[in-house]
Structure 1
């Protein structure tokens, strides 16, 4: 009876799809989070994830796939942020705050002005328990593309994240790398629409890389730890949400937060031991 109870979540099709979508998006979000953490783009991930809302709503009105609207809106936010920060005295983080809040507000205004069967909570916080085959295919294709690109170009992106001037001096097209990373960010957020939604997407885009950064010393190990941490945390969050009768997305984010705190405490203990004089 105990084993049957433990395996109960795997007996329901909606839970099986939730596990699948969690496993699918874990790899690209974890890999991307490593670059966002090193580059200091945490706010950029938050900005783009919020800014795709008007694109999603307009795509619903025009009866086109929501992922198209989300991607276009995400790219518009990223390009607009880059242009304003490069052509004004305002710092990039300030520009991102203005742009993403403005686009998010625009999305809310458009949504409230139309009659829609789409539930806003599903857009904002995800709907993992309502994932269908089309969502799995969309997330799977996007995740595969993002993962392949990141694994093929990780050395170039790593140099660009640490030292853009050196990357440019080495003959790399830093503009292409910059906007390529923004494109990958927008695509990844589209893939997470069905899992964590727009509000909590930043958790997937930052937490795995932050946890791995605290526990590793090399970038290769950082990517491995980020992927493993993300995969286990997401699957555990989906599993526990069944018994806690909670939404999977917030449960996953809470697990990420707990793991981050543990990693931070472990790092502090290791640092203190390393700095203590030997007896």
Structure 2
């Protein structure tokens, strides 16, 4: 068997890894009622991606920095507009997305917006796999060090503050971990569809899970099936994997009992 026969192996491994870490991260965000932050970060990465590509830099670094800036700005504005946090976050989301689209003609950047928005899993290489493995390691470290506090924040965020837990530090680390997961997932499913992988596998298990760890394991298993199955169906049917995985996420919610 030659290398051409195994061209799909790296994309498949990447799809499986993303299928594990996205729902696990989504479990943290949904239980803490902060899933909008992930959607905001995904869209906030667009200006950084465009800038990096325009100046021949690593787009992952540009997207990561831009996504973190967007998340931190949204956090600051949410504190200013108490009780109207969703409005502030949606405004930042829209502004960063518009800035990214505006930078394309301004910088005359050669950017394939369709790939950025919807992913290109079949073109993934070893570097993408390494970046995703780093994101997985960051998530594991966050869980290992702060699991109890993450549970506390999900159950009673005000109580966590009153108990003088390092809430600000933990939320910042969670933002960084989420940014790493999102930027790695963008390779597979793009900015638009990554939120589906963060949410759908979690939503079908959240009411039946007995603990955060149980929810994360169940969701990761479902995400593994979605991404692995979507990848193989895409190869068999000569279809783009990212959009197909996005459709499978919606289908999962529709058939859930």
Task: Tell me if both proteins adopt one fold, taking TM over 0.5 as the criterion.
Answer: yes
User: Deviations for 1:87-110, whole angstroms, at most 9, x for unmatched residues?
Assistant: 235611101110010010000010
Q: Distance in 2 between matches of 1:61 and 1:238?
A: 30
Unaligned residue ranges in structure 1 (runs of 5+): 1-9, 267-279
Partner Cα separation in structure 1 for residue 26 and residue 5 of structure 2: 31
Residue in structure 1 matched with residue 190 of structure 2 by the alignment = 197
- 1:88 and 2:81 correspond: yes
In the TM superposition, residue 146 of structure 1 has moved relative to its aligned partner by 1.8
Query: Alignment partner of 1:233: what SS?
Result: helix
Residue in structure 1 matching 2:140, options 147, 166, 191: 147
Structure 2 distance, partners of 1:52, 1:13, is 31
User: How many angstroms does 1:150 deviate by?
Assistant: 2.5
Which residue does 1:61 correspond to in 2?
54
TM-score by length of 2: 0.92
Supply the distance in 2 between the matched residues of 1:150 and 1:70 (Cα, whole angstroms): 24
Equivalent in the alignment of 2:245: 252
Q: CA deviation at 1:190?
A: 1.2
Q: 1:124 aligns with which of 117, 123, 132?
A: 117
**Aligned position for 2:227:** 234
Whole-Å Cα distance in 2 between the matches of residues 207 and 151 of structure 1?
25
Equivalent residues of 2:121, 2:187 under 8 A apart: yes
> What is the deviation of 1:11?
7.1
Give the Cα separation in 2 of the matches to 1:128 and 1:172. 40
Alignment length, in residue pairs? 255
CA distance in 2, matches of 1:184, 1:120: 25
Task: Let me know the Cα RMSD of the aligned residues.
Answer: 1.9
Distance 1:14 1:125, change over 3 A: farther
- The correspondence of residues 147-226 of structure 1 with structure 2, limited to 5 A, is 147-226=140-219
Q: Which runs of 4+ in 1 moved over 3 A?
A: 10-14, 114-118
Q: TM-score, normalised by structure 1?
A: 0.85
3-state secondary structure, aligned to 1:236:
helix
Confirm or deny: 8 A CA contact 2:119 2:242 kept in the other structure: yes
What are structure 2's unaligned runs of at least 5 residues? Answer: none
Q: Distance in 2 between matches of 1:11 and 1:224?
A: 34
Give the 3 Å change call, closer, same or farther, for CA 173–152 of structure 1 in structure 2: closer
